[in-house]
Amino acid sequence: MSQHTITVAGVAVDARHWIGGERVASTRTFPDVSPIDGSTIGEISRGTATEAAAAVAAAKAAFPAWAATSRAERARILHAIAGGVEKRIEELAIVETTDNGALLRSHRRGVMPRVAHNFRFFADWLLQLDHEDFDTRGHTNHVSWDPAGPCVLITPWNAPLMLATWKVAPALAAGNTVVLKPAEWSPLTASLLADIAAEAGLPAGVLNVVQGYGSEIGDALTSHPDVRRISFTGSVPTAKRIAESAAAHLTPLSLELGGKSPLLVFADGDLDLAVDLAVEQYDNAGQVCLAGTRLLVEEPVAEEFTRRFVERASALKQGDPRDEATDIGPNIHPRQLEKIDGFVQRALAAGARAVIGGHRKEDQYYAPTLLTDVAPDAEIVQEEVFGPVLTLQTFTDEEEAVRLANGTRFGLAATVVTGDPERAERVTARLVAGTVWVNCFFVRDLQAPFGGSRLSGVGREGGTWSFDFYCDVKNTVTAPKGWKDHG
C-alpha cells in the first residue's frame, strides 16, 4: 500500500491529487480531521499554484477529444460512473461520515444514491437536450449547445460528494473537462470519485481533482485564462473574491451562496406538519444552505406551535453519526463551532431567550437551539449561522409575514405552511427566493432550476439550465436559398 494511502474503516483512499489521469503528490500536506472525535484521519496533499496550473493544463489538453465525443458515448460513460458509485455506496458512505460528520444512515439511504442519480439524470438529459427549430421569414433557426471548455468546480464541505457531482455530472455531460477543488475539511470522497471515474473509462484529464486551501490554490484556478466556467457553492465573501479573480477574463460564474430562509406557519395550516418541517431544519446539524432557520409563526398558534416544537426537538438524539439511532451529529470543525456559539452568545447578550439549547455540548456538538425575543434586524436573524440554531418570530397578517420573510439580504429558499391554496399563491408570488416549498420541504427534482436571489447566488442550474451554463449556446440561422447544386 502506498505511503499516500489513508485507510478509513477499511477503505483505502489516496491522499494525492488526480491530475491528467495520474496521482500527483505535493511537497506539503494538511491534516484531515474527523469531526466525530477530533482524530486526524490522515495527511492530504496540499496543492498550490503549481498543481492548479497542471490540472488546468491537463483539462485543456483533454478537452478537444472529449468535446468531440458523441453524446451517446458521453452518456454511456456517465452511466458507468453511476454504476461504480452504486457498487461502492457503503464505502463512500462510511468515508464521508468519518470525514464530515453527517449521519451514516443518511449517506447510505439518500445521499450516495443521489450521487449516482446525478450522473444518470444528466446523462439521460443530454440525450434528449433539444430545441425545436423555428422559422424567421423563411430562414431556419437551429439552437445547439457547444462545450465551453475547462471548468473549475469548487465545492463545500456539508454534502461533499453529492454537491460535487451536482456540478461534475452536467459539466462532463456537456462535453467539458473539469478541475474539481473539494473543501479542505472534507476532501476524501472526491478522491474516491476520481478512482471510480477512471475505472468507468473516463479519459485521462477529463476529470482532475486538486486539494488544498482556497487561499493557496483557489486564485490560481479561478484566474486562469484557460478556464471557461467556474461554479462555486459556499460563502458570500469567498464568492466575491472568486468573482474578482474571474473578472480579468470575464469567465462566466454560477454561484450558490448562503441562505437565511424563512419557514412561514399560518394559523390555518396543519400544525403537526409545521412542527415536523421545523424540526427537520436541524438536519445535518443545521449545516444545510436551504434550511428554514427563521421560523415565522402567526400569533394565534405561536404558543401551541412552540410547545409542540420543544417536545419534538427535545426528543432528538445527538451523538455519534455512525449510530443508526442518532438524529444529529457533530458540527464539522472547531472553527465552525466557535462561529456558531459566537452568534448564539451575542444574541443572548442582546436579549434573546433560548427556549431550548443555547450552548455547546462535548467535543464538536452543539445543542439544538431555538431563540425567541429577537428583533428583525438582529444579527442572529440577518446572518447565516450554519449550525443547529433557529429563531422564532411571530406575525399578525400576510403583509407582516411577507415583510419579515423578505427582510434579509438573502433569497435562497422559503417554506410556507397553510391550508388555504389561494393564500399560498398570494404569498409565494411575493417571496424573494429561488425555491419555495408549500406544505413540504426539500423536495428536489434535478430538472427544476436551482439557485438563489440577492446575495444567495447568481444563475440557475438543473435540467436544461445546467447545460445553458456549462455550454456556449449557439443559434445557427440558415437561408432558404443559396445552395449550389451538388447533384
* Listed residue (6, 204, 206, 192) closest to 84, CA to CA: 192
Q: Which fold has domain 262-438?
A: Aldehyde Dehydrogenase; Chain A, domain 2 (3.40.309)
Mean pLDDT by 10 residues, the chain (487 residues): 88 98 97 95 97 98 98 98 98 98 97 98 97 96 98 97 98 98 97 98 98 94 97 96 96 96 98 98 96 98 98 96 97 95 98 97 93 98 97 98 98 98 98 98 95 96 97 97 78
Q: What is the pLDDT of residue 1?
A: 60
Query: Residue 96 has which C-alpha cell?
Result: 464521508
Say if 5-257+456-475 and 262-438 have the same CATH topology.
no
Q: How far apart are CA 393 and CA 374, in angstroms?
A: 7
Catalytically active residues are 256, 289
Q: How far apart are CA 366 and CA 341, in angstroms?
A: 8
Q: How far apart are CA 282 and CA 285, in angstroms?
A: 5
Domain ranges of the chain: 5-257+456-475, 262-438
Q: How far apart are CA 278 and CA 272, in angstroms?
A: 10
Q: What is the 3-state secondary structure (H, E, C) of 388-413?
A: CEEEEEEECCHHHHHHHHCCCCEECE
What residue has cell string 458540527?
331
Say yes or no: domain 5-257+456-475 is CATH 3.40.50.300.
no
Query: Residue 173 has which C-alpha cell?
Result: 455531460
Q: How far apart are CA 409 and CA 73, in angstroms?
A: 44
Confirm if 251 and 229 have CB atoms less than 8 A apart. yes
- Lateral strand order in the sheet of 369-372: 353-356, 369-372, 389-395, 294-298, 262-265, 413-417, 435-438
Instruction: Tell the burial category of 10 from Cβ atoms under 10 Å away from its Cβ (0-12, 13-18, 19+).
Output: exposed
Q: What is the pLDDT of residue 363?
A: 83
The three-point CA angle 184-186-190 to 5° equals 95
CA atoms within 13 A on the CB side of 139: 9
Q: Is the pTM of this model over 0.85?
A: yes
